[in-house]
Amino acid sequence: MKKIHIDNTTENRIREAARKIFYKKGYAASRTRDVAKEAGISPAMLNYYFRSKQRLFEVIMLESLSHFVTDIEGMLNDENTEFEYKVEQLVLQYIDRFTAVPELPLFILNEIRNNPAALTGKLPIAEMVKNSVFLRQLSQRADRSQLGVRNPLQFVMNILGLIVFPFIARPVISGSTAIQKMEFNLMMQERKTLIPVWVKMLLQN
């Protein structure tokens, strides 16, 4: 059998094309011919690199989840920074990432809902958060406040909701209030400052 030379430039172009198609359409509605067309190659060439749509999707999904989670793992477990600083960095990094790729949150949400066992098994998100310095610091802060939070993960879900929900609900928000892309992005930039303030106020109650 003739050996196929793997060109990293072509492979990266396929990944970028697949990311664009999958983010826009999701797994079920995407076709390999659409990815090949977007990448400017033939379907046969795409098959040389990624054999099947399932294999290509797994690569893109794992990369997306990795960017969503592992980029902040070091920050969450930094013993030398305070909880408030971690919140600020969490908000900053996620809002910047979602502003740059606004399709990402809804894509991940939909695909995890469609196949939770296969995806969450590859990245132990819950374990990472439960064992983090960030959660330990939050527990200590909650104990000193009047929150009475039995499970600190409740508070973590609130923080993530404040960050992620506007991007997921963007079509509804923009459609109902005629908010343009630039105005929406300005609102998200403002939330970089507002969310840490809201979190601090809750912990001071």
Q: What is the pLDDT of residue 200?
A: 86
pLDDT in tens, 111-126: 777 777 666 666 666 7
Q: What is the pLDDT of residue 81?
A: 93
Residues in the chain: 205
CATH of the domain spanning 61-204, picked from 2.40.128, 1.25.10, 1.10.260, 1.10.357? 1.10.357
Query: What share of the chain in percent tops pLDDT 70?
Result: 82
Q: What is the pLDDT of residue 36?
A: 95
Long-range contacts of 93-101 (CB under 8 A, 24+ apart): 94/163, 94/164, 95/163, 95/188, 95/189, 95/191, 95/192, 97/67, 97/68, 97/71, 98/163, 98/164, 98/167, 98/188, 99/185, 99/188, 99/189, 101/23
- The Cα 14–Cα 74 span in angstroms is 30
Q: Which two tokens stand for residue 201?
A: 């106020």
Q: What is the pLDDT of residue 26?
A: 87
Looking at the chain, the domain(s) classified CATH 1.10.10.60 span 1-51
The band of 1, judged by pLDDT with boundaries at 50, 70 and 90, is: very low
User: What are the distances in angstroms from CA 201 to CA 22, 143, 146, 156?
Assistant: 39, 15, 11, 15
Q: What is the pLDDT of residue 144?
A: 66
Q: pTM of the prediction?
A: 0.78
Q: What is the pLDDT of residue 4?
A: 47
| Of 142 and 9, the one with more pLDDT | 9
Q: Which two tokens stand for residue 90?
A: 């969490």
Nearest in space to 33 (alpha carbons), one of 14, 10, 6, 16 = 14
pLDDT in tens, 9-51: 899 999 999 999 999 888 889 999 999 999 999 999 999 999 8
Q: Which CATH class is domain 1-51?
A: mainly alpha
Looking at the chain, the domain(s) classified CATH 1.10.357 span 61-204
**CB count in 10 Å sphere of residue 36:** 20
